[in-house]
Chain A
Amino acid sequence: MASEVESAGPVDMTGYIKHHLTHLSSGDGFNAIHLDSVFFKLLIAAIFLITLLRVAGRATSGVPGKLQCAVEMVLEGIDGLVKDMFHGDRTFVTPLAITIFCMVFLMNFMDMIPVDLLPTIGESAGLEHLRVVPTADLSTTVGMALGVFLLIQYYGIKSKGIATFFGEFLTAPFHASGPVGKILCAFPNLLLRLIEEAVRPMSLSLRLFGNMYAGELIFILIACLTLGSTLGSWVPYVLGPIQFIAGFVWTGFHVLVITLQAFIFMMLTIVYLSMATEHH
């Protein structure tokens, strides 16, 4: 039947997937700026900040409203986690952890929005491509991980002093007594330390990016089930329910994934900072 062939065959699935995975960007190569990621990240940051500022501005020391209560619970919970793991001045670490958790969670949450919705709206507004999940963009996650990396170095130097900090590059994790042993251990220590330092931002950024990219991709693949079909064909009636169930299950599962990924990013940041401030 011609209609079947038309509905299932000629739709350009590869083109659809590629279209979905292309950023709205300006510039090429290294200079490319992913405008969609930047826009949505700023939008989410604005929502996050405005919400927090409103709650803070209206905060009462009496019986709090529900929003204030919820914010307090999140803040107290994260502060408790930081207190358990980071033994030092928490005035910066707790707000950092709260910001990381909330921002990563909200950016991940963009994945919950039906995968075709915002690109369709964007297209009608003249935007050719639109990727709405900033954390499914390696630029975003690497940027955040590099920020954390710099903070780790800063906290290391701050708590140990420059001499001890750089001394540990050569004297830890392998300890030796005597000058010969120390010299022998210096090179492996340096190598291990450099690998360790390089692996942290990579694992942080790639874990988050991989999870979110895969999640987005699976939403796109689920969407392919009824791609381009019309009500006149059999496709929506047979594959439609399958797409619905698959989308439902994956959305429900992904709620857990996005929360867990935000939590992992925050926890690892705290752990790295606490390791940086502890002496070997």
Chain B
Amino acid sequence: MSITITLLIQGLAFFAVAWLVMQFGWPLINKAIEERQAKIASGLAAADRGQKDLEDAQAKAQEIIKDARSRAQVLVDQAAKRSNELVEEAKNSAVSEGERLISAARAEIGAESTRVRAELRGQVAALAVKGAEQVLGREVNAQAHAALLDELAGQIAAG
């Protein structure tokens, strides 16, 4: 057997069918394949988008948490500062109040001692006059000896 007309015509028939398949069959298959590729591509893209959205949301959440934390820190700092101030103020006012009370007490004590001293001085003067009367055996005329008595009283008070 060698190359014959029969074989050539068989070849022609084969290529005619092949042409027909390429013309009408292959586009259908190709379309199905390309649709599938597009579907996979869009699916993958959607997955990527979802992944990116998730990452964005996580970053945003981190940002918000960080912000809230710093704001809370500020509040805590302010509160601490305020409490320190209050403590300081209270301390200061307590100290000044104490000082005031002490000075008031001192003043009162001073006044009292002055008053008691004056009273004592009067009593001592009266006592001295009485003693002098008894020593002299008669009444001392207060008017006549006022200058003397006053000088005496003044000596007692000073002494």
Chain B contacts with A in 125-153, Cβ cutoff 8 A: none
Quick check: B29 and A70 within 8 Å, CB to CB? yes
CB pair B17 A255 closer than 8 Å: yes
Residue from A123, A236, A247 in contact with B10 in the complex, judged by beta carbons closer than 8 Å: A247
A117-B10, A252-B20, A255-B17 given as contacts; is B44 within 8 A of A73 (CB)?
no
Contact A114 B5, CB 8 Å, known A63-B40, A64-B37, A69-B36: no
State A69–B4 Cα separation when bound (angstroms).
Answer: 41
In the complex the two chains form, is B36's CB within 8 Å of A114's CB? no
Query: In the complex, what residue of chain A is closest to B10 when comparing beta carbons?
Result: A114
Determine which residue in B5, B9, B17, B44 has the highest number of CB atoms from chain A within 10 A of its CB, and name it: B9
The CA-CA distance from A184 to B126 in the complex, in Å, is 161
Cα(A64)–Cα(B44), bound, Å: 11
Complexed CA–CA distance, A229 and B6 (Å): 8
Q: Is the Cβ of B10 less than 8 Å from the Cβ of A120? A: no
Could you say which interface size class chain A belongs to? Answer: 35 or more
Query: Could you say which of B7, B9, B29, B37 contacts A240, with CB atoms under 8 Å apart?
Result: B9
Q: Quick check: is B21 within 8 A (CB to CB) of the other chain?
A: yes
Contacts of B14 in A (CB 8 A): 112-114, 247, 251
Interface size of B in residues (CB-CB distance below 8 Å) = 26
A66:B1 contact, CB within 8 angstroms: no
Question: B33, A66: Cβ atoms under 8 Å?
Answer: yes
Query: Which residues of the other chain, B, contact A70 by a CB distance below 8 angstroms?
Result: 29, 33
* Bound-state Cα–Cα, A231 to B29, Å: 41
Q: Is the CB of A116 within 8 A of B4?
A: yes
Contact B5 A229 (CB under 8 A): yes
Which of A's residues lie within 8 Å of B, judged by CB? 19, 62-64, 66, 69-70, 72-73, 112-117, 119-120, 123-124, 219, 223, 225-231, 236, 240, 243-244, 247-248, 251-252, 255
7 closest A-B pairs by CB: A247-B13, A114-B10, A116-B7, A251-B17, A248-B13, A63-B41, A69-B33
